[in-house]
């Protein structure tokens, strides 16, 4: 949330001052009350003030005489996604994030956020996009527009809606266009750092160029157009204590004939026109940050190589199906499908 200071008031301020401040916040009508050390002491709403007036308190009395002490919050190093889910379901709108000194460092508006995920995001945006020439002769594929904004911006905005703040974008081909468009991310209230590949490093090699991540990492291709529920993917990763989670696409194969079950050419049964569902890699991953240490430094390395490493060394790797739309924009037919879908999305 921008301008969180608008929601903060000192406990020794007057209720008159609090009412004036609340009047400038018609949508939320909540203030966070702090002491002289900027530590959170409680919340104050118009309802708290009305109850104070009913009990005989006046306009010139202190905020501390009105505040509600039973507030909800999360620590910046202990974000519990399931708890945030419960708070959203209870209708709690504003959620303060506190540091270890109980100072507010951020306020999340749960009415506008899907969730708050403790992840860093890495977006791979260095590819050439040969199959989308001649468009990609003058513009990098991630910057092709869908519904008036670049493909990569759709991905960034969706990740932001899940509370992700720290972004890394891996760039190479026509990188200046991407870097000039997004800058340091401050216009979107996020942090963006760029991983500059001198040569193609595959779909995961750029991870080795980041000195350290603050959180576990969500890795995604930049040319995907999808309604993936990142919270669902994260909860699968977290609840199963996985080292790596892969978003998957259900792919059904239908056989138009009866299939025999047989033993030594003797038919023991059959199934009429069976359908089998398989799961394909969607190009979106959550990776435990310790796993990234296994990626060779500045070498070509794909996410599938990391998956193979996880399998060989008995790491826990899971997949989680995407429910909704998913398009890998690799050619003009895919681009046309995405352009049709985006027409029906409410912004």
pLDDT in tens, 200-242: 888 888 999 998 898 999 999 988 888 899 999 999 999 999 9
Domain boundaries, the chain: 4-109, 119-249+277-342
What's the whole-number mean pLDDT along residues 7-36?
A: 81
Looking at the structure, give the CATH architecture of the domain made up of residues 119-249+277-342.
Alpha-Beta Complex (3.90)
pLDDT digits (tens, 9 = 90+) for 126-145: 777 677 778 777 788 898 88
Global pTM value: 0.81
User: Could you read off the pLDDT of 159-210 as tens digits, one per residue?
Assistant: 999 999 999 999 888 888 999 999 998 899 899 999 988 888 888 889 999 9
* pLDDT above 60: residue 65: yes
Identify the pLDDT of residue 248: 92
- CATH ID of 4-109, from 3.90.730.10, 3.40.50.720, 3.10.580.10, 1.10.10.60: 3.10.580.10
Tokens of 281: 């890699």
Element of type H or E holding 244: strand 244-254
Which residues are within 8 A (CB) of 162 and not within 5 positions of it... i.e. 6 or more apart?
113, 114, 115, 116, 117, 230, 231
113 three-state secondary structure: coil
Q: What is the pLDDT of residue 3?
A: 66
The string of pLDDT tens digits covering residues 275-286 is 778 888 889 999
Q: How far are the Cα atoms of 29, 102, 217, 346 from residue 214, in angstroms, in the given order?
A: 33, 20, 9, 33
């Amino acid at each position: 949330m921008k301008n969180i200071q608008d929601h903060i008031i000192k406990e020794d301020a007057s209720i008159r001052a609090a009412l004036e401040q609340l009047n400038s916040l018609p949508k939320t009508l909540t203030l966070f009350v702090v002491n002289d050390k900027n530590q959170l002491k409680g919340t104050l709403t118009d309802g708290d003030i009305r109850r104070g007036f009913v009990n005989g308190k006046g306009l010139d009395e202190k905020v501390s005489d009105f505040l509600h002490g039973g507030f909800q919050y999360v620590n910046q190093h202990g974000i519990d996604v399931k708890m945030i889910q419960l708070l959203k379901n209870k209708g709690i709108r504003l959620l303060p994030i506190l540091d270890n000194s109980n100072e507010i460092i951020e306020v999340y508006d749960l009415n506008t956020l899907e969730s708050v995920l403790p992840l860093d995001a890495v977006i791979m945006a260095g590819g050439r996009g040969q199959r989308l020439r001649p468009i990609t002769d003058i513009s990098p594929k991630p910057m092709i527009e869908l519904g008036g904004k670049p493909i990569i911006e759709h991905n960034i905005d969706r990740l932001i809606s899940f509370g992700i703040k720290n972004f890394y974008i891996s760039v190479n081909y026509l990188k200046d266009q991407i870097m000039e468009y997004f800058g340091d991310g401050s216009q979107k209230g996020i942090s963006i750092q760029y991983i500059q590949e001198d040569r193609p490093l595959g779909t995961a090699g750029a991870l080795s160029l980041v000195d350290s991540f603050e959180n576990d990492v969500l890795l995604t291709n930049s040319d995907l157009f999808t309604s993936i529920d990142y919270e669902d993917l994260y909860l699968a990763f977290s609840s199963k204590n996985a080292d790596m989670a892969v978003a998957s696409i259900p792919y059904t194969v239908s056989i138009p004939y009866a299939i025999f079950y047989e033993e030594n050419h003797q038919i023991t049964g059959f199934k009429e026109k069976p359908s089998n569902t398989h799961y394909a890699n969607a190009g979106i991953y959550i990776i435990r940050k310790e796993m990234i240490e296994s990626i060779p430094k500045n070498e070509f390395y794909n996410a599938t190589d990391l998956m193979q490493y996880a399998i060989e060394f008995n790491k826990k790797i899971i997949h989680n199906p995407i429910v909704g739309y998913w398009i890998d924009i690799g050619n003009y037919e895919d681009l046309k499908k995405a352009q049709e879908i985006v027409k029906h999305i409410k912004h």
